[in-house]
Amino acid sequence: MRALVKPGPVPGMELREVPTPDCGPSDALIRVRAAGVCGTDLHIWEWDAWASGRLRPPVVIGHEFAGEITALGAEAAAEGLLAVGDLVTAEGHIVCGHCLQCRTGNAHLCTRTRIIGVDRDGAFAGFIAMPASNVIKLEGIPVEIGAIMDPIGNAVHTVLAGGEVPGSTVFVLGCGPIGCFACGVARAAGASLVVASDFNDMRLSLARGMGAHVTLNPGRDDVLARVRELTGGDGVDLVCEMSGHPAGHAQAFAAARLGGRVNLLGTPSRPTEVDFARDVIFKGLTLYGVTGREMYSTWHTMARLLRAGQLDPRPVITHRFPLERIADAIGVIKEGKAGKVILEIAP
Amino acid sequence: MRALVKPGPVPGMELREVPTPDCGPSDALIRVRAAGVCGTDLHIWEWDAWASGRLRPPVVIGHEFAGEITALGAEAAAEGLLAVGDLVTAEGHIVCGHCLQCRTGNAHLCTRTRIIGVDRDGAFAGFIAMPASNVIKLEGIPVEIGAIMDPIGNAVHTVLAGGEVPGSTVFVLGCGPIGCFACGVARAAGASLVVASDFNDMRLSLARGMGAHVTLNPGRDDVLARVRELTGGDGVDLVCEMSGHPAGHAQAFAAARLGGRVNLLGTPSRPTEVDFARDVIFKGLTLYGVTGREMYSTWHTMARLLRAGQLDPRPVITHRFPLERIADAIGVIKEGKAGKVILEIAP
Amino acid sequence: MRALVKPGPVPGMELREVPTPDCGPSDALIRVRAAGVCGTDLHIWEWDAWASGRLRPPVVIGHEFAGEITALGAEAAAEGLLAVGDLVTAEGHIVCGHCLQCRTGNAHLCTRTRIIGVDRDGAFAGFIAMPASNVIKLEGIPVEIGAIMDPIGNAVHTVLAGGEVPGSTVFVLGCGPIGCFACGVARAAGASLVVASDFNDMRLSLARGMGAHVTLNPGRDDVLARVRELTGGDGVDLVCEMSGHPAGHAQAFAAARLGGRVNLLGTPSRPTEVDFARDVIFKGLTLYGVTGREMYSTWHTMARLLRAGQLDPRPVITHRFPLERIADAIGVIKEGKAGKVILEIAP
Amino acid sequence: MRALVKPGPVPGMELREVPTPDCGPSDALIRVRAAGVCGTDLHIWEWDAWASGRLRPPVVIGHEFAGEITALGAEAAAEGLLAVGDLVTAEGHIVCGHCLQCRTGNAHLCTRTRIIGVDRDGAFAGFIAMPASNVIKLEGIPVEIGAIMDPIGNAVHTVLAGGEVPGSTVFVLGCGPIGCFACGVARAAGASLVVASDFNDMRLSLARGMGAHVTLNPGRDDVLARVRELTGGDGVDLVCEMSGHPAGHAQAFAAARLGGRVNLLGTPSRPTEVDFARDVIFKGLTLYGVTGREMYSTWHTMARLLRAGQLDPRPVITHRFPLERIADAIGVIKEGKAGKVILEIAP
């Protein structure tokens, strides 16, 4: 099969012929139809410090995808839940199932997590083999949406962690694809006001397409003043910090109301100075670090929202490329011209 | 002023001239513009066992209303939160503020609660005096909606108690006005499926008007079979029991999924047989009894949903009468021809 | 190996030689040292309506046990978490792992649950084979306690469901072994007052041994009056309904404070009449049906409490018998003379 | 009456004769018997940047106290909850009761909070007038304990925020009086392991007296290594950050387990560098800023724990002085020789 491979400790990826993966006894073999390109893939392409410290090339890249089951291992078949021909996506974090986290509802924090396209072969390929327990049936969700349920799930986790979104005010700080999805999730979950900010106007336009009531550009707008004005001076109930910038953190804490909540997904590359007394303690704030998707309650809620049509992420998809045009896909992301970019792998 | 008074221990009400109430130091005096007629008012009109055991006539009836502040007591004025001319509604449960319940977030369960229009003079009148702390500013919510925020708040409390409505499946059992409001609240809060049932087709039509995806009439439909079919065999995440009928209870428990939730608001007039082993324990159900509105988080969330236009209760309003036509108002309710009935008291 | 078998659709059990069970690839084979006799085993012995409707003889009885791992299947060994020689107990509910319940934190409610000693061969035997994922290492917990962690876990689940036990008042209604354990769990979890009731004075004595501050016998005491007196007239924060008697339910609802909680574990054999208006709705109560143990957070918390010595269930153990004296074990339970009864199977 | 007054914008306090405060209509006048000296009082004594920015001298100092009611205003008397002669303490945060925070369960975060002994006259005096709604009856709690329920309440809030303490592992970082109280609260609430750290061995000895299982001195011990060793490598479920030092923050985040919680009470005087990616996001941590005491659920739980004898804070009290020896009281605190210091004002 064809696959995009990080061949060695160098920038870029290579389109190669590689063997179709084996389908283990508890696996599903999936013919990949579409895959999403993620910021993580950009780090891998660039071979930055994080990538070179984590990947062990050669490895097939790609962790967001959807496709069709073409084979099932004996145990997976015996379970009777999946069938050849099913259209599916999958949770890309493969966890141990046995540690304290896995056994107490925090499998998304398993220390033995192996991520497809990072720690083992991924989905920018003709086929991928996945543990059956990680596979999610689309059951009516379009394949193109299925291909990006991994990052949509990040947004669902970020918006819904801590509950009480109906009737609330939400500030989404950073409008990359997951930030844009978060705007849509907040609207679908009944937020009364969704404000989004980003320096990139194209991204703000995507955020509006996902339902943000108000978009702000820190290059032009006094973001904090506007957030306060829009909330009667109180600040918002929930900040979704999607930017990963230290300046974003300060703004996040300042924008949250007394007793409010800041859920942090954007991963900063350097430390942030925090005035805990002023910004956290005297404000009675709750901060929560978001990793991955809750397994599998996030997936369950997300599938409901997508199937009912409450959440439609397609306005965020701006580009579609075939596998061989990965350099173009990476390019539009680097240039800040893209929302979500899809690789169309098979019809 | 004019007022509808229960004059003594007899059926009916009487339109009388009575003195305008005094405005105490911590009170707001409110000129009533519109008031809602509630099932409770029907019990009072009929002078049934509950009414005759609770009311001490003469008393002015009516507990759902909105109007305009015409005077403020000295302490209320000093607080600076309310002003003469403000359009307002009010929480009709006047609580002690000192008991265990009041001091630990359960003021709606205060044992010393005095309800306007039941335990003290109410709102079917030219004016009502209310403690300023019970008064809620409309701030843009239309007066007619303000007049029924009491029962809308019951619906908000019922739907949101226990959280996690976004993406959930909800079954509203009983489509009186509060059941209809509950359909709208569930939709506004992001439920993926709202099913409503009632024996009265007119009410089902109102429920659809509030956003119910599917309505069922137990006189024609196999309700449980349909609920299971609509939920892939699982049953719903949340049942809102609004009927108060023992048959409704059995259906509520059967319709909830394993690990689901039944929030009960409809108050039955006789005991129900419950098979706790089959219906509650082996199903891991949570049941919750809904009294009033949480003070004042329910009001806060409700006002947000109404102001943002996420929830519009007006399709449920079917009749409007002047004060002197109370007998007609009671009549349409008794005949099952009405959704919510409004008394228009002042322009 | 020797095993206590329900040989056919008749009362009693038979001590037989049966083949040692196979150890599947993901199983642990465990040499049973001690096992607990449960009320369920009494139903099976008597061959009552429930037992005859559920069991498919011949089946080895017994679902509470502890022992030593003597063999591991290849997959179980590869996981590296268990080793031959480990002293262990196990969750006796074997679940599917794939259904909505299993995937969203409610595996204890899996509809495909198969219970050892009921739906498949159990632990009143020389050996039992268990899926490795169900096995819990004792790591310092004495074997005799390990043998009864299944019912202790029921008590942990019942007391801790709904949270907020520290500083609370708890009423344990019914002092069979699980009720007695619940008294100890409530004390370990920081309850400020634990009241227990039962008609059997021996059981009340065991409850006191587990830390109940006050014990009441409904044959002599006005239980409700005393609960109210002990709680300043408020009623308790949490009732643990362990009796399964309709009379117990009425008392449970009446004993709970406004806004309180009733967690129901005792499974009644017939329906209960409930006055939902008076007892649930106007009181704002939460009811919760307890099934099994949360997998595996209940086990984690329980192991912590046992290892730290905060909870010592041994005062509840009143009798120890060898396997061949099962009739005597059943006898002392039937006569109401026993707390927890242990079968000592191997040294 | 005599009172310790901050006379003007200078260090120190002055013992003066001042008029006994008026008892307003909704007030209780309380004869102060004992008062606690707090770190805040040290800041006021020193007249540091915070104190000079906030206080408007002359003001009577002191916010922790207990005493006897000697008079009640007319409204306070009419409520019937307090009586002359009652032994009481009081919540020292006087809130507006009307803002979003006050109306939605977050009164401890009211922006209009006025603190006794800071923003208005306090308790280092013969008498103090308090709003009746802030007054808490001791009902059996010794006066000396009543005098320090304010900081004990801080500890209760810090330990119990987020729930699930029974069976958990807790690390108390910083053993000033509130940290020491937190050790006792964690034990009373059923924590299975309580580890405490401080550079001051006397304080560690007080922490042990309050029930800490293990105490660590960062000057001698590798705190993180020991915390990990004591928790099987996982880290603790809950960190109570009581030190307010940036170094404490880093240690707090590192000591928490994946999915764990850090509740922050210690207020740092300068910003902290936080590696959000490593320490919060990838760990799935929850951080919570603790302000004051929840009004009044913290007080309710605290009173229960104290009355039941589960929590006894007296080992932390190291010094008792009469009012005129305030300089000595401040001195022992500054020198790090004191746990809790009490001013004995009246017999």
pLDDT in tens, A202-226: 999 999 999 999 999 999 999 999 9
* Strand pairing category for A317-322 and D317-322: unpaired
Chain C's closest residue to B284, CA to CA, is: C289
- The pLDDT of residue B68: 98
Distance CA A218, CA D275 (A): 24
Find, among C231, C222, C259, the residue nearest to C171 by Cα: C231
Contact by Cβ (8 Å): A319, A148: no
Chain C's closest residue to A76, CA to CA, is: C98
- Picking from B160, B192, B193, the nearest residue to A166 by CB comes out as B160
Is A211 in a helix, a strand, or coil? coil
Q: Tell how many helices (H) and how many strands (E) occur in chain B.
A: 13, 19
Find, among C75, C60, C65, the residue nearest to C30 by Cα: C65
Residues of B marked active site are found at: 40, 43
Q: Is there a catalytic annotation at residue C20?
A: no
- The neighbour count for residue B80, using CB atoms within 10 Å, is 9
* CA-based radius of gyration for chain B: 20
- The pLDDT of residue C163: 82
- Picking from C101, C244, C273, the nearest residue to B258 by CB comes out as C101
Distance CA A39, CA A58 (A): 20
Q: Residues A337-346: what's their mean pLDDT?
A: 97
Contact residues on chain D for A234, CB-CB shorter than 8 A: 100
ipTM for the assembly? 0.97
Contact residues on chain A for D102, CB-CB shorter than 8 A: none
DSSP state of C325: G
Is A95 in a helix, a strand, or coil? coil
Retrieve residue A118's tokens.
Answer: 């990072």
Question: Counting Cβ atoms within 10 Å, is residue C224 exposed (0-12), middle (13-18) or buried (19+)?
Answer: middle
**Stretch (H or E) spanning C130:** strand C127-131
Find, among D209, D259, D220, D210, the residue nearest to D239 by Cα: D259
Query: How many angstroms separate the first and last alpha carbons of chain C?
Result: 15
Single out the catalytic residue among C20, C43, C93, C158: C43
Contact residues on chain D for B104, CB-CB shorter than 8 A: 296-297, 300
**DSSP secondary structure of B289-303:** E--S--TTHHHHHHH
Which partners does chain D have (≥3 C-beta pairs < 8 Å)? A, B, C
Question: Counting Cβ atoms within 10 Å, is residue A298 exposed (0-12), middle (13-18) or buried (19+)?
Answer: buried
What is this structure's pTM?
0.98
Distance (Å) from the alpha carbon of A320 to chain B's nearest alpha carbon: 29
Distance (Å) from the alpha carbon of C160 to chain A's nearest alpha carbon: 15
Per-residue pLDDT tens over the stretch B196-208? 999 999 999 999 9
Whether residues A300 and C100 touch (CB distance < 8 A) is answered with yes
Distance CA C262, CA C251 (A): 11
**Stretch (H or E) spanning B340:** strand B340-344
Contact residues on chain C for D310, CB-CB shorter than 8 A: 167, 190, 192
Find, among C123, C145, C125, C143, the residue nearest to C134 by Cα: C123
- The pLDDT of residue A134: 97
Per-residue pLDDT of chain C in tens (347 residues, 90 and over written 9)? 999 999 999 999 999 999 999 999 999 999 999 999 999 999 999 999 999 999 999 999 999 999 999 999 999 999 999 999 999 999 999 999 989 999 999 999 999 999 999 999 999 999 999 999 999 999 999 999 999 999 999 999 999 999 899 999 999 999 999 999 999 999 999 999 999 999 999 999 999 999 999 999 999 999 999 999 999 999 999 999 999 999 999 999 999 999 999 999 999 989 999 999 999 999 999 999 999 999 999 999 999 999 999 999 999 999 999 999 999 999 999 999 999 999 999 99
For residue B296, say if its preceding peptide bond is cis, omega within 30 degrees of 0: yes
Retrieve residue A245's tokens.
Answer: 């910038």
* Strand pairing category for D114-115 and C214-216: unpaired
Q: Is the pLDDT of residue D163 over 90?
A: no
> D103 phi and psi, to 5 degrees?
-90, -5
- What are the distances in angstroms from CA B65 to CA B300, B330, D180? 17, 17, 53
Chain A's closest residue to D248, CA to CA, is: A276
Contact by Cβ (8 Å): D198, D266: no
- The pLDDT of residue A163: 82
* Strand pairing category for B286-289 and B256-264: parallel
Chain C's closest residue to B292, CA to CA, is: C282
- Picking from B79, B98, B296, the nearest residue to D104 by CB comes out as B296
Per-residue pLDDT tens over the stretch D53-104? 999 999 999 999 999 999 999 999 999 999 999 999 999 999 999 899 999 9
Q: Residues A169-186: what's their mean pLDDT?
A: 98
Distance CA D302, CA C52 (A): 51
List CB contacts of C195: < 8 A, sequence separation 6 or more. Answer: C169, C170, C171, C172, C212, C213, C214, C215, C216, C226, C227, C230, C236
- The pLDDT of residue B163: 82
Per-residue pLDDT tens over the stretch A93-130? 999 998 999 999 999 999 999 999 999 999 999 999 99
Distance CA A257, CA A216 (A): 18
Contact by Cβ (8 Å): C231, C263: no
- What are the distances in angstroms from CA D324 to CA D123, D125, D263? 14, 11, 37
**D79-112 CB burial, b ≥16 within 10 A, e <16:** eebbeeebbbbbbbbbbbbbbbbbbbbbbbbbee
* Strand pairing category for B169-173 and B193-197: parallel
- Picking from A166, A169, A192, the nearest residue to B165 by CB comes out as A166
**DSSP secondary structure of B69-103:** EEEE-HHHHHHTS--TT-EEEE--EE--S-SHHHH
Q: Residue D273 — pLDDT band, cuts 50, 70, 90? A: very high
**Stretch (H or E) spanning A258:** strand A256-264
Per-residue pLDDT tens over the stretch B316-325? 999 999 999 9
pLDDT averaged over chain A?
97
Per-residue pLDDT tens over the stretch A43-78? 999 999 999 999 999 999 999 999 999 999 999 999
Q: Residues B205-228: what's their mean pLDDT?
A: 98
Distance CA D311, CA D296 (A): 18
Contact by Cβ (8 Å): B158, B134: no
Percent of chain A at pLDDT > 70 equals 100
List CB contacts of A62: < 8 A, sequence separation 6 or more. Answer: A4, A35, A37, A41, A116, A117, A122, A123, A124, A125, A343
List CB contacts of C78: < 8 A, sequence separation 6 or more. Answer: none
Number of cross-chain residue pairs from B and D with Cβ atoms under 8 Å apart: 31
Percent of chain B at pLDDT > 70 equals 100
Is D128 in a helix, a strand, or coil? strand
Find, among A230, C105, A250, the residue nearest to B284 by Cα: C105
Retrieve residue A30's tokens.
Answer: 């999936």
Q: Residues A242-271: what's their mean pLDDT?
A: 95
What type of residue sits at position B325? R
Contact by Cβ (8 Å): B5, B309: no
List CB contacts of C179: < 8 A, sequence separation 6 or more. Answer: C155, C172, C173, C196, C198, C203, C207, C240, C242, C243
**Stretch (H or E) spanning D342:** strand D340-344
Specify which residues B146 forms β-bridges with.
Answer: none
- Angle, CA C330 vertex, CA C324 and CA C336 arms, to 5°: 145
Query: How many angstroms separate the first and last alpha carbons of chain D?
Result: 15
Contact residues on chain A for B166, CB-CB shorter than 8 A: 160, 165-166, 188-190, 301, 305
> C48 phi and psi, to 5 degrees?
-80, -175
**DSSP secondary structure of A285-302:** -EEEE--S--TTHHHHHH
Q: Residues A336-344: what's their mean pLDDT?
A: 97
Q: What is the dihedral of CA C153, C157, C163, C165, to 10 degrees?
A: -60
Contact by Cβ (8 Å): B289, C276: yes
- The neighbour count for residue C78, using CB atoms within 10 Å, is 12
Whether residues B164 and A164 touch (CB distance < 8 A) is answered with no
Distance (Å) from the alpha carbon of B244 to chain A's nearest alpha carbon: 27
Contact residues on chain A for C100, CB-CB shorter than 8 A: 300
**Stretch (H or E) spanning C45:** helix C39-46
Contact by Cβ (8 Å): B87, B68: yes
